[in-house]
Amino acid sequence: MRSFFRPAVDAMTGYVPGEQPKPGTKIIKLNTNENPYPPSAKAMAILHQIDGEWLRRYPDPYARDFCSAVSQVLDVPTDWIIVGNGSDDVLNMLVRACAEGRERKIVYPTPTYVLYKTLAAMQPAEILEVPYSDNFELPIEALVEAQGAITFIASPNSPSGHLVDTDQLRELASRLNGVLAVDEAYVDFASGSALALVREFENVIVLRTMSKGYSLAGLRLGFGIAQPPLLAGMFKVKDSYNVDALAIHVGTASMLDQDYKKTCAEKVKANRSQLAVDLKQLGFTVRESHGNFVLVTPPTDAETLYLALKERGILVRYFSQPGLSDKLRITVGTDEQNQMLLEALVSLLP
């Protein structure tokens, strides 16, 4: 059959998102790292006050109200912030603006967030993957040697859950000619952040999302923080009205409700510790995690266990990739959800 597509599109595999059952189905969903707690009540209240004018008019192309909220909370200037339709959109802008072909490669340590590869394939830009060692030491020398137009580091990383040391990121930033993009989607559950590097280096961008820490995965809102010259090229390639009016209003209220976000994150962290203890008792190996998930090695075949849990209405993430095929990534749920997971495991394990 003839193809209608660019060769790069013919050659690529599309991103495969985690399974999304319909809301309301009786499924315990521990596969895509959503926050188990509801969004801020202050954010939900906005939805009851929607003004038709917000929808009749185009939204603010720069989401300035949301930028002001971020600026206030993170103490960064408003013009150091770029907002996207989820942080995936910000990643997309960065790739479109910076990467191309063999001369402007995309580099990242693996295993990590799979979207980096998809975005590179569609640009297209050459990819250089540098495997992490078993203990997830950052392979600085190999990353520096690769000299990517963009080097992506997710920290905390998914699916490993490890946090990359800021001093190592500082060294990397200072030795790279291209952009260092630190993807902090899980920062709200972690004990550190590389945000300070944005002030030190003109080539660093830190990416954040409202999807995980703020329980707003369905809203689609994320942002990047960098010095204005790095953002300039990204503003050129972004969709004009990439963030809708509801996302701006709801996201702003949510960002300003830091107390609620912190309370939820503390609960998630407490549940994460308890879940790790309980899983270890069942014979699992559990990696220390700075995210709202744990990467575990079950005492039996991981894929079989994944399928058996699914059969019982419990979704976890299985990756059939080298290095991960004996592991499962389990999102930290509510106490009740974690308990149901543990009960199912007790009955399934030999």
Ligand X SMILES: *Cc1c(COP(=O)(O)O)cnc(C)c1O
Residue number of the CB atom closest to ligand X: 86
Picking from 224, 223, 186, the residue whose alpha carbon sits closest to that of residue 205 is: 224
Cβ nearer to ligand X, comparing 209 with 227: 209
C-alpha span between 62 and 193 (Å, rounded): 25
Helix (H, G, I), strand (E, B) or coil at 294: strand
What's the closest the beta carbon of residue 36 comes to ligand X, in angstroms?
15
- 124 vs 251, beta carbon nearer ligand X: 251
- To ligand X, the closest distance from the beta carbon of 242 in angstroms equals 12
Pairing of β 328-331 and β 293-297: antiparallel
Using CB under 6 A as the binding criterion, the count of chain residues that bind ligand X stands at 13
Positions 47 through 106 that interact with ligand X (CB under 6 A): 86-88
Choice from 211, 252, 254, 292 touching ligand X (CB under 6 A): 211
Nearer to ligand X, 158 or 337 (CB): 158
From 150, 154, 206, 316, residue interacting with ligand X (rule: CB under 6 A) = 154
Nearer to ligand X, 35 or 71 (CB): 35
Query: What's the residue count for the chain?
Result: 350
Q: Which is nearer to ligand X, 93 or 344 (CB)?
A: 93
Torsion of CA 165, 170, 172, 177, to 10 degrees: 150
Binding pattern to ligand X, positions 231-270, x when CB under 6 A?
----------------------------------------
Q: Provide the minimum distance between the beta carbon of 260 and ligand X in the complex, in angstroms, as a whole number.
A: 19
Candidates 71, 209, 252, 271: give the one binding ligand X (CB under 6 A): 209
Coil, helix or strand at residue 82: strand
The SS3 call for residue 10 is helix
Q: Which of 140, 196, 217, 342 binds ligand X (CB under 6 A)?
A: 217
Residues 54/245, Cβ–Cβ less than 8 Å: yes
Selected from 36, 222, 224, 333, the binder of ligand X by CB under 6 A is 222
Alpha helical stretches, state H, the chain: 7-11, 41-47, 52-56, 64-74, 87-98, 115-122, 140-146, 166-175, 197-200, 228-237, 245-256, 258-281, 302-311, 335-348
Q: Does 205 bind ligand X (CB under 6 A)?
A: no
CB of 230 to ligand X, least distance (A): 18
d(CA 104, CA 95): 10
210: helix, coil or strand? Answer: coil
Query: Which among 86, 83, 151 has a CA at the least distance from the CA of 112?
Result: 151
Site string for ligand X, 158-197 (x = CB under 6 A): x------------------------x-x------------
- Shortest distance (Å) from residue 285 CB to ligand X: 22
Beta bridge partners of 127: 106
Cα 158 to Cα 21, 161, 239, distances in angstroms: 22, 5, 27
User: Among residues 113 and 344, whose Cβ is nearest to ligand X?
Assistant: 113
Nearest distance, CB of residue 115 and ligand X, angstroms: 7
Question: What pairing do the DSSP bridges indicate for beta strands 179-183 and 204-209?
Answer: parallel
Please, what is the minimum distance in Å from the beta carbon of residue 116 to ligand X?
9
Q: How far is the CB of 313 from ligand X (least distance, A)?
A: 23
User: Rule CB under 6 A: which residues touch ligand X?
Assistant: 86-88, 113, 154, 158, 183, 185, 209, 211-212, 217, 222
